[in-house]
Structure 1
Amino acid sequence: MKPKNVVAGAHGMTAQAWKKHANPWSVWTRFAAIPAFELAVWSREWIGWWSLAGVALVVIWLWLNVHLFAAVEPTNWAARGIYGEQLHVDGKAPAAHRVVLRLLIVAGLIGFAFIAWGLIALEIWPVVLGTVLLVLAQLWRIDRYGLLYEQHQSESR
């Protein structure tokens, strides 16, 4: 099974869950989880092992997030992006989209590596650089997924 399908399965991504995840509140609050996670890990300096409670809360939030909000139709940028992501996970992305999406995933992983380095070493600049890379890559991916969705819609007519 492909990693993207494993992640979708772990989140219980049914057709209804995808519609709920497409809610802009779901999309933007997942972005808010990035600095919350970083703060939770960094807080080990101040509160020791209790920092794991903050990490756990963020992880629980990320799992619950895709199920909490009202289902929406693809009428805005974020929703079209998530609908496009569903097409990609379902294997309906043309090769040109898959190449760009893989490059953006690599960029996001590089950002994540900088974040991990910064959090392990307690250095702020890698955390900031990694966060910027991760967020920009994710925003670009959502935009690309939106293009995929719109292309799929125009081909379906």
Structure 2
Amino acid sequence: MNQLGRATERAMGMNDSVWERHANPWSGWSRVAILPMLAIAIWSRVWIGWWSLIPITILIAWIWINPRIFPRPKSVDNWMSQGVLGERIWLANKPGSIADHHIRVARVLTIIAGLGTLIFVGGLIWLNVAATLFGLAVSMLGKLWFIDRMVWIYKDQQSSTK
């Protein structure tokens, strides 16, 4: 499962500088809004037809631009920054750097978020409001809970290096 995360990291061009900027809480929190906005943009095909490709394209571009546009945070003493830094530790996957109980929970949360995303996508394809909203809620709950676990991983690493 970490392989998918690392592949995404490579596709996004996430280097040290980009990760530092992405640790800005504005970057993390503004990305949380992407999935609901994407749902509206995709659903807008019903109202505006092919013009819906404009907001969809803008949101896809924002996914790539977002971790680059914000400055490095002045402090990482906040939940979102620590979650992003924990995710970087998770993706590095250095042997012994993450406790087994975190690995198990993070994998389960990734599966939950993935299943929610499948339901979300199905709802968008079939224009089913209930499936779209349920999938969105499950996906976002899984992702936010995953970020919370990444905060634990970050704090564990910080306490072990002191």
TM-score by length of 1: 0.94
Deviates more, 1:116-125 or 1:94-103: 94-103
Question: Per the alignment, in what secondary structure is the counterpart of residue 2 of structure 1?
Answer: helix
Hey, what's the Cα distance between the residues in 1 that align with 2:20 and 2:39? Answer: 28
Could you report, residue by residue, the CA deviation over 1:23-59 in whole angstroms, capped at 9, with x for unpaired residues?
1111111111111111111111111122122211111
Question: Per the alignment, in what secondary structure is the counterpart of residue 14 of structure 2?
Answer: coil
State the one-letter code of the partner of 1:11.
M
State the one-letter code of the partner of 2:103.
R
Give 1:138-153 correspondences, 5 Å limit: 138-153=143-158
5+ residue gaps, structure 2, are none
5+ residue gaps, structure 1, are none
Hey, what's the Cα distance between the residues in 1 that align with 2:45 and 2:84? Answer: 34
Corresponding residue number in structure 2 for 1:81: 83
Corresponding residue number in structure 2 for 1:90: 92
1:134 aligns with 2:139: yes
Could you report, residue by residue, the CA deviation over 1:55-95 in whole angstroms, capped at 9, with x for unpaired residues?
11111000100101111242111101111000001113333
Hey, what's the Cα distance between the residues in 1 that align with 2:76 and 2:104? Answer: 24
Displaced runs of 4 or more, over 3 A = none
State the one-letter code of the partner of 1:137.
G
Hey, what's the Cα distance between the residues in 2 that align with 1:39 and 1:81? Answer: 27
TM-score by length of 2: 0.92
State the one-letter code of the partner of 1:10.
A
The percentage of counterpart residues that share the same residue type is 34
State the one-letter code of the partner of 1:115.
F
Corresponding residue number in structure 2 for 1:104: 109
Could you report, residue by residue, the CA deviation over 1:78-132 in whole angstroms, capped at 9, with x for unpaired residues?
1011110000011133332121111101100111111111111111111111111
Tell me how large the CA RMSD over aligned residues is.
1.3
